[in-house]
Amino acid sequence: MPSAHTKPARGMRDFLPEDVRRREYVIGVIADVYRRYAFEPLETPAVENIETLTGKYGEEGDRLIFKILKRGEEGRATGEADLALRYDLTVPLARVAAEYRATLPRVFKRYQVQPVWRADRPQKGRFREFYQCDVDVIGSKSLVVEAELCAAVSDVLERLGFGDFEIHLNHRQLLTALLSGAGVPPDQHGTALVAIDKLDKIGRDGVLAELQARGIDHEAASRVFNWLTAGSSPDWLDRLNEFFSTGGNALGSAAIAELTEIVRLSQGTSAARYLRIEPALARGLSYYTGAIMEVRVKDLAGSLGGGGRYDGLVGMFSGEQVPACGFSLGLERILVVMSERQMFPTSVSGVAADVLVTQWNREEAVESLAIARDLRHAGLRVDVYPEPDKIGKQIKYASTRGIPRVVVAGDDERARGEVTVKDMASGTQRSVPRLELVDALRAEPEGSKLNG
Amino acid sequence: MPSAHTKPARGMRDFLPEDVRRREYVIGVIADVYRRYAFEPLETPAVENIETLTGKYGEEGDRLIFKILKRGEEGRATGEADLALRYDLTVPLARVAAEYRATLPRVFKRYQVQPVWRADRPQKGRFREFYQCDVDVIGSKSLVVEAELCAAVSDVLERLGFGDFEIHLNHRQLLTALLSGAGVPPDQHGTALVAIDKLDKIGRDGVLAELQARGIDHEAASRVFNWLTAGSSPDWLDRLNEFFSTGGNALGSAAIAELTEIVRLSQGTSAARYLRIEPALARGLSYYTGAIMEVRVKDLAGSLGGGGRYDGLVGMFSGEQVPACGFSLGLERILVVMSERQMFPTSVSGVAADVLVTQWNREEAVESLAIARDLRHAGLRVDVYPEPDKIGKQIKYASTRGIPRVVVAGDDERARGEVTVKDMASGTQRSVPRLELVDALRAEPEGSKLNG
C-alpha cells in the first residue's frame, strides 16, 4: 500500500512515462540544435571529489552541496565526507578543460545536459535534483561566439514552438561604467547590481528603496535609473555612448561597441528578430565579465535561461586565463511553460503503443508474436496482450491505454490468411490480408505519427 | 596544468565527446527497440531515502551503498546519513510500483537507462558509476513476457550489429529439481548454485572441487553434472523430463514445460535463432523464481546481459506478491565489445561538424553566419571559424578536426554571388552559386551521412 516510505526523497521527483517522454523531447531538440552548431556532448560524473567543489560557489553554495560520507568505519566514526554531488556543470567543465587540455581542441564547444543536486529548501518549481542544459565555448574571445550562442538558443526555442520570446542583451562593463559615471563608488557596484537585478520583480521604486537600504547615494541611484529605463527610447544607445565619451569612460564605450557588434553579427541569424539591448539586465552571478544574455517570455516571471561571457572562471584549475562564454537553458521552466501552453506535439503523448495485437488462444500466440515482430521491424510500437483473454476485454484494454489500433487474428481469419484491424477512434474494423498488414498499418497516419 | 585535482573521482569517468556519442548511439538503439515493444520509459532520482535502500542488497551490498551526510550541523557532528545513491534500478522500480499503483497500468512494461553507484574497489572494467539498462514487465505471469523480452534483446543486439550471440535459457526450478533429484539436500541448493554459476569461468573440475569444498556429496555432484553437461545431446531434455517424471518431481517437469513453451512462443520472433536451453546456466542472484536468461558472445568471458523471472521482489514495498520478469543489458560491456570489433557506424565518429564556414574578414562575418544558418536549418552540422584569420590556417583547422568540407566566402566570390566549397578528402574545390549552396552540400553523401 502506498505510504511515506515509497515516496521519492524530499525535493526529488520520479518521472513516470509521460513525464520522461516530454523531457526527452525537449532535451532531444536542444541537443539536435546544439549539434548543428557543432557543439560536442560532454558528460561528467555525478560524484566529484569534495575539494573539486568546495569554495567554488560561495559560502551559501558550500552549504547546499550534498556531501557523501567516507566509506567504511572511518566515515561512520568521523562523519568525514570525501565526495560530493555535482552542483553545477561549470566547475566540472573547468576541471575537464584543465585535465584534457592536450587532447581538447583549442576552441572547445561543448553542450552538457545532466542533473545537478542542491540541498535547497524545496518549494514550488524548485527541486533538489534538476537538469541543467549548458552550452559553452571556451578558448575564444571573438564576439562571433556570443552571436552563435544567441542564434542557437533562438533555434532551440523556435523548434520547441516559442515565437514570442525576447533575448535581452547587456554588458557587465556597461553596467560598471554606468554606475561609475553616475557616481556610485566601485566598492558599491556589486551590491548595487544585486538590487538592480530585481527590477522586473520589485519594480523601479522597489529597487530605488533597496539601493538606498544598501547605502547607495540617492542622487547617484536616480542618475543610474534614468539610463536603465531609457531602453525604450530609440536613440538611447547613442546618447549613452556620448555620455561615456564626454566622461572619458573608455570601458563604457567599449561595452557599447561590443553590444553593437553582437547585434550586427546576428543580422543574418535566427536571433535577429529576438535580440534586444536591455540596459537594466544585470544577471545575479558575479562571475560575468562581458556580454550577458537572458531569455524572457511574457507569461513567466523570471527567465527561460541566461548566460554570458565569464573570462575568469574556466581557468580556475589550470591557473591560466581561459576566455569563455556560455548559455544555460532552464529545462524545468521550459517544461512548465510548454505544459501550460499545451505546446507538446501529439507524438509526445501518454500513449505507449500504436497497435495492440490480441491473443486469441494459447496456440495462436505464436502467430500474434510473429505479427508483432513484423510491425515492430517496420518501426511501429506494438503491444502484445500478455495472455489469451476475452477479445472484448483486450479491446477495452486498448481503449483504456489509448492505443489507436487493434489487430485480431482469430482462427477463422487465420484460415483465410487474413487478420482483422479495428480502428478504435471510429470503431470500424476491416479484414486485411496477413501479408499486407505491415503496409496497411504503416500507411495510416496515426501509426506513423505516433511512431516515436 | 593537469594535476591530480583535475582528475574525476576514483572509479568515476569523464565522457569526452566521442565517448558520449558512442554511448548515446547504443542507448538510442536500446530505447528505440524497447519503445517498439511498447515498453515505457521511467526515471527515478539518483538520490533515495537511505531506508529505501538499506537491507535490500544483502550485507555486502549495504556496505557498497554511497551514503549522503545529513545537511547542517547535525550531519557534521554525528556523521548521520539520511540519503543514499541509487544502487540498482530494481528497488526504485519496486518503490514506484507501490507508490503509483493506482495510476500505473495493471501490467507495467517499463525500461530505464540510468547510472547507478557502488563503492566497489575499482578495477579494469568495473566502475563506481555505471549505467544499467533495465527492461521489466511487472504484473503478468504469462510466458509471453519471457518470449517478448528475449525477442527485444535479440532486436537490440541485431540492430547494434551482433550476429553471433546466444541467449542461454534455463529455469531456477529445473536447477532445484535437478539438485533434489541428484540427492543434494535443499539447504545446500543455494551454495551449490553459487558454485555451478562459475562453470564457464573455472570449468567442470573447478566446480566439482568447489562443490566438494562447500560440503556437497561427491556422488550427488557427479549426478548433477551429468545433466548439466548433457545440453549438447539432442534428446537430453526428453531424457531429463523422463528422469523427473519417474522421480515424481513435478517441479522439474513444470520447469521443462515452461522452457519448452518459451521456445515455442519464440518461433516467430527475432529470438528464435539465438535461444538455447542451457542446463548449466545458474545466474548468481538469489531472487529469481522462474526462467533465467543470459546473453553470450564468444569473445567475452561473462555475459552481455541477463535476466529472468523474479516474482517475489517487486512486492517488497506493497506487501503484495507482484509477478515480474526483466532483463538487464550490460551497457559498459556492449561498448567494450563494439569498440574492440569496431562496430560503430561512421556516423558515430569523432567529427563534430559536416561543414566549416570560414571567416574572410570582420565585415564578411555577417554573411558567414547567414550561410551557417541556412546549412543548419537544412540539418547539417556546421562549425563557424570563430575569428577572421588566414584561410590556410582555417583549412588546416578543418583538417585537424576531420571536418570534410569547407565553405569560403571571400570578397570576390561574394561579388559574383558565389561561394567556394573545398572537399577536404580530395582537395578539390569548386564555385557554387550562394543560393544553391544548401542543395549542393545536402546532396553530398558525406554531409548527409555525418548529419547526426
- Closest CB to B83: pick one of A9, A21, A383: A9
Helix H or strand E segment including B158: helix B143-160
Extract long-range pairs of A338-345: CB within 8 Å, 24+ residues apart. Answer: A338/A22, A338/A26, A338/A160, A338/A161, A339/A22, A340/A299, A341/A299, A343/A160, A343/A161, A343/A162, A344/A22, A344/A25, A345/A25
**Binary contact (B45, A8; C-beta < 8 A):** yes
For helices A144-160 and A17-36, the axis angle rounded to 10 degrees is 140
> CA-CA distance, A375 to A381, in Å (whole number)?
8
The Cα of B249 is separated from the nearest Cα of chain A by a number of Å equal to 25
- Closest CB to A38: pick one of B270, B383, B400: B383
- Closest CB to A5: pick one of B5, B7, B51: B51
> CA-CA distance, A267 to B79, in Å (whole number)?
57
For residue B234, give the 3-state DSSP assignment: coil
Return the amino acid letter for B280.
Answer: A
Cell 557543432 locates to A38
Output the pLDDT for position B412. 86
Given 3.30.930.10, 3.10.450.40, 3.30.465.10, 3.90.700.10, which CATH number is that of A8-340?
3.30.930.10
Assign A166 a pLDDT band (cuts: 50, 70, 90).
Answer: very high
DSSP β-bridge partners for residue A48: A84
What is the location of CATH 3.40.50.800 in chain B? 355-450
Residues in A closer than 8 angstroms to B352, CB to CB, are 38-40, 109
The Cα of A206 is separated from the nearest Cα of chain B by a number of Å equal to 33
**Binary contact (B264, A366; C-beta < 8 A):** yes
Residues 6+ apart with CB under 8 A from B250: B244
Of all residues in chain B, the one with the smallest CA distance to A74 is: B79
- Closest CB to B38: pick one of A13, A353, A367: A353
Q: Is residue B441 within 8 Å of B380, Cβ to Cβ?
A: yes
Q: Please name the residues between 64 and 83 in chain A that touch chain B, using a CB distance below 8 Å.
A: 66-69, 71-72, 75-81, 83
**What DSSP character marks residue B43?**
B
Q: Is residue A46 within 8 Å of A115, Cβ to Cβ?
A: yes
What is the pTM for the complete model shown?
0.93
Return the amino acid letter for B161.
Answer: G
The Cα of B122 is separated from the nearest Cα of chain A by a number of Å equal to 14
Of all residues in chain B, the one with the smallest CA distance to A363 is: B265
Q: Please name the residues between 326 and 355 in chain A that touch chain B, using a CB distance below 8 Å.
A: 352-353
Reported ipTM = 0.92
Residues in B closer than 8 angstroms to A77, CB to CB, are 79
Contact B36/A at CB under 8 A: yes
Given 1.10.260.30, 3.30.2020.30, 3.40.50.800, 3.40.630.30, which CATH number is that of A355-450?
3.40.50.800
Best of B1, B14, B368 to substitute, by most chain A Cβ atoms within 10 angstroms, is: B14
Burial A318-346 (b: 16+ CB within 10 A, else e): beeebbbbbbbbbbebbbebbeeeebbee
DSSP β-bridge partners for residue B307: B293, B327
Output the pLDDT for position B2. 44
Cell 503496409 locates to A439
Sign (positive/negative) of CA torsion A181, A183, A187, A191? negative
Least confident window among A91-105, A266-280, B296-310: B296-310
Helix H or strand E segment including B131: strand B129-138
Q: Please name the residues between 199 and 238 in chain B that touch chain A, using a CB distance below 8 Å.
A: none
Mean pLDDT of the region A148-171: 97
Contact B273/A at CB under 8 A: no
Best CA proximity match to A327, nearest among A196, A152, A198: A152
Write the burial class of residue A111 (CB in 10 Å: 0-12 exposed, 13-18 middle, 19+ buried): buried
> CA-CA distance, A124 to A371, in Å (whole number)?
47
Q: Is residue A172 within 8 Å of A292, Cβ to Cβ?
A: yes
Condensed to tens digits (0 to 9), the pLDDT of residues A354-385 reads 999 999 888 889 999 999 999 999 999 999 99
Helix (H), strand (E), coil (C) string for chain A: CCCHHHCCCCCCCCECHHHHHHHHHHHHHHHHHHHHCCCEECECCCEEEHHHHCCCCHHHHHHHCCEEECCHHHHHHHCCEEEEECCCCHHHHHHHHHHCCCCCCCCEEEEEEEEEECCCCCECCECCEEEEEEEEEECCCCCHHHHHHHHHHHHHHHHHCCCCCEEEEEEHHHHHHHHHHHCCCHHHHHHHHHHHCCHHHHHHHHHHHHHHHCCCCHHHHHHHHHHHCHHHCCCHHHHHHHHHHHCCCHHHHHHHHHHHHHHHHHCCCCCCCCEEECCCCCCCCCCCCCEEEEEECCCCCCCCEEEEECCCCHHHCCCCCCCEEEEEECHHHHHHHHHHCCCCCCCCCCCCCCEEECCCCCCCHHHHHHHHHHHHHCCCCEEECCCCCCHHHHHHHHHHCCCCEEEECCHHHHHHCEEEEEECCCCCEEEEEHHHHHHHHHCCHHHHHHCC
Best of A47, A134, A354 to substitute, by most chain B Cβ atoms within 10 angstroms, is: A47
Assign A3 a pLDDT band (cuts: 50, 70, 90).
Answer: low
Say how many residues make up chain A: 452
Say how many residues make up chain B: 452
Helix (H), strand (E), coil (C) string for A301-337: CCCCEEEEECCCCHHHCCCCCCCEEEEEECHHHHHHH
The per-residue pLDDT string of chain B (452 residues; one tens digit each, 9 = 90 and over) reads 445 589 999 999 999 999 999 999 999 999 999 999 999 999 999 999 999 999 888 888 889 999 999 987 766 777 889 999 999 999 999 999 999 999 999 999 999 999 999 999 988 888 999 999 999 999 999 999 999 999 999 999 999 999 999 999 999 999 999 999 999 999 999 889 888 888 888 888 899 999 999 999 999 999 888 888 776 677 888 889 999 999 889 999 999 999 999 999 999 999 999 999 998 898 876 789 999 999 999 888 789 999 999 998 888 888 888 999 999 999 999 999 999 999 999 889 889 999 999 998 888 899 999 999 999 999 999 999 999 999 999 999 999 999 999 999 888 888 999 999 999 999 999 999 999 999 999 876 544 444 43
Contact A399/B at CB under 8 A: no
Residues in A closer than 8 angstroms to B382, CB to CB, are 36-38
> CA-CA distance, B27 to A287, in Å (whole number)?
36
- Closest CB to A20: pick one of B5, B42, B85: B42
Extract long-range pairs of B337-346: CB within 8 Å, 24+ residues apart. Answer: B337/B162, B337/B297, B337/B299, B337/B300, B337/B304, B338/B22, B338/B26, B338/B160, B338/B161, B339/B22, B340/B299, B341/B299, B343/B160, B343/B161, B343/B162, B344/B22, B344/B25, B345/B25, B346/B449, B346/B450
Best CA proximity match to A98, nearest among B9, B19, B3: B3
Q: Is residue B111 within 8 Å of B28, Cβ to Cβ?
A: no
Best of B34, B59, B314, B369 to substitute, by most chain A Cβ atoms within 10 angstroms, is: B369
Contact B265/A at CB under 8 A: yes
**Binary contact (A2, B140; C-beta < 8 A):** no
DSSP β-bridge partners for residue A275: A167
Q: Please name the residues between 134 and 173 in chain B that touch chain A, using a CB distance below 8 Å.
A: 137, 140, 142, 144-145, 147-148, 151, 155
Residues in A closer than 8 angstroms to B68, CB to CB, are 66-69, 85
Return the amino acid letter for A83.
Answer: L
> CA-CA distance, A317 to A98, in Å (whole number)?
6
What is the location of CATH 3.30.930.10 in chain B? 8-340
Contact B109/A at CB under 8 A: yes
The Cα of B297 is separated from the nearest Cα of chain A by a number of Å equal to 23
Write the burial class of residue A169 (CB in 10 Å: 0-12 exposed, 13-18 middle, 19+ buried): buried
**Binary contact (A155, B37; C-beta < 8 A):** no
- Closest CB to A40: pick one of B14, B68, B352: B352
Best of A384, A389, A394 to substitute, by most chain B Cβ atoms within 10 angstroms, is: A384
- The 10 Å Cβ neighbour count of residue B167 is 28
Grid cell in block for residue A136: 559553452
Residue contacts between A and B (CB atoms, under 8 Å): 313
Write the burial class of residue B1 (CB in 10 Å: 0-12 exposed, 13-18 middle, 19+ buried): exposed
The Cα of B42 is separated from the nearest Cα of chain A by a number of Å equal to 5
**Binary contact (A265, B17; C-beta < 8 A):** no
Contact A122/B at CB under 8 A: no
- Closest CB to A101: pick one of B2, B13, B21: B2
